[in-house]
């Protein structure tokens, strides 16, 4: 049984969607949770209240993962509140979809900076307290688009493929300190973004997915909670696909 009692977790992009579900899943298993988000503070306050309603401590840190100093301040705030950082989930991500021929440099750069650079900045900051404790769990949120590529998402696919490389490289660097680094690769998940997809596209995605449905945010959050647990202590450098069988490698 997964038990994260006494652990502290940091989650980027934690105010809504998959990030919120991750925060709540970790809290249900006993972890105190700090999360960083650049969105509406009122939405973040709601997530704080939900975490606290589960009997756990919650910290919201307003900030942008593209700012290295903001990432360092986020980890420092978690350490100040909880005394340590046991779990880091690099979840913050954006899309700016377009075909390569039409994609602007800003669309390319912004997606890489949020999805890949932000994970690097937070990982770098969190490794200091983890290395000192000789323990830790880092989980990066990649995507099926980073595994198989996706037309119209060269920037997003590149950032998520880069996260897989970052996961494996850091896993090798810190394994001797009992720190594991893994990635979760969601397939198509029901969120505010995907609910507006055309019905024809939803039907096509469902048809291509062996389990015959979209994923839920809870499906993803449960996988993260597992990788954060003692039960996953001998797993590192791996990509866990949570995609209903869409990409089989």
Which residues does the annotation mark as catalytic? Answer: 156
First to last CA, the chain: 28
Half-sphere exposure of 241 (CA within 13 A, CB side): 15
Query: Which residues fall within 8 angstroms of residue 112, CB to CB, at 6 or more apart?
Result: 155, 158, 159, 162
What phi, psi does 176 have (nearest 5°)?
A: -65, -15
The helix/strand/coil state of 50 is helix
Token pair 């996706």 is found at: 150
Q: What share of the chain is helix, strand, coil (3-state, %, to 5)?
A: 50, 15, 35
* Bridge partners of residue 136, in order along the sequence: 179
Query: Which residues fall within 8 angstroms of residue 115, CB to CB, at 6 or more apart?
Result: 92, 93, 94, 156, 159, 160, 162, 163
Say how far apart CA 48 and CA 15 lie, in whole Å.
Answer: 8
Say how far apart CA 30 and CA 50 lie, in whole Å.
Answer: 13
Query: Which residues fall within 8 angstroms of residue 18, CB to CB, at 6 or more apart?
Result: 91, 141, 186, 189, 191, 217, 220, 221
């Amino acid at each position: 049984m997964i038990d994260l009692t006494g652990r502290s977790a940091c989650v980027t992009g934690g105010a809504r969607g998959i990030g919120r579900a991750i925060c709540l899943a970790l809290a249900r298993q006993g972890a105190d949770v700090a999360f960083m988000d650049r969105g509406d503070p009122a939405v973040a306050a709601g997530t704080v209240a939900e975490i606290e309603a589960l009997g756990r401590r919650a910290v919201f840190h307003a900030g942008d993962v593209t700012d290295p100093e903001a990432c360092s301040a986020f980890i420092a705030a978690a350490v100040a509140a909880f005394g340590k950082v046991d779990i880091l989930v690099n979840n913050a991500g954006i899309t700016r979809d377009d075909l390569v021929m039409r994609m602007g440099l800003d669309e390319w750069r912004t997606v890489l900076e949020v999805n890949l650079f932000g994970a690097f900045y937070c990982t770098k900051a969190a490794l200091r307290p983890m290395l000192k404790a000789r323990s830790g769990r880092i989980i990066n949120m990649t995507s099926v688009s980073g595994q198989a590529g996706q037309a119209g998402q060269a920037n997003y696919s590149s950032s998520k493929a880069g996260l897989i490389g970052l996961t494996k490289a850091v896993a090798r660097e810190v394994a001797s300190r009992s720190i594991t680094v893994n990635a979760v690769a969601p397939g198509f998940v029901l969120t505010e973004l995907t609910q507006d997809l055309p019905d024809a596209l939803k039907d096509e995605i469902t048809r291509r997915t062996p389990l015959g449905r979209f994923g839920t945010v809870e499906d993803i959050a449960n996988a993260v909670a597992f990788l954060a647990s003692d039960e996953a202590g001998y797993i590192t450098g791996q990509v866990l696909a949570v995609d209903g069988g869409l990409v089989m490698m």
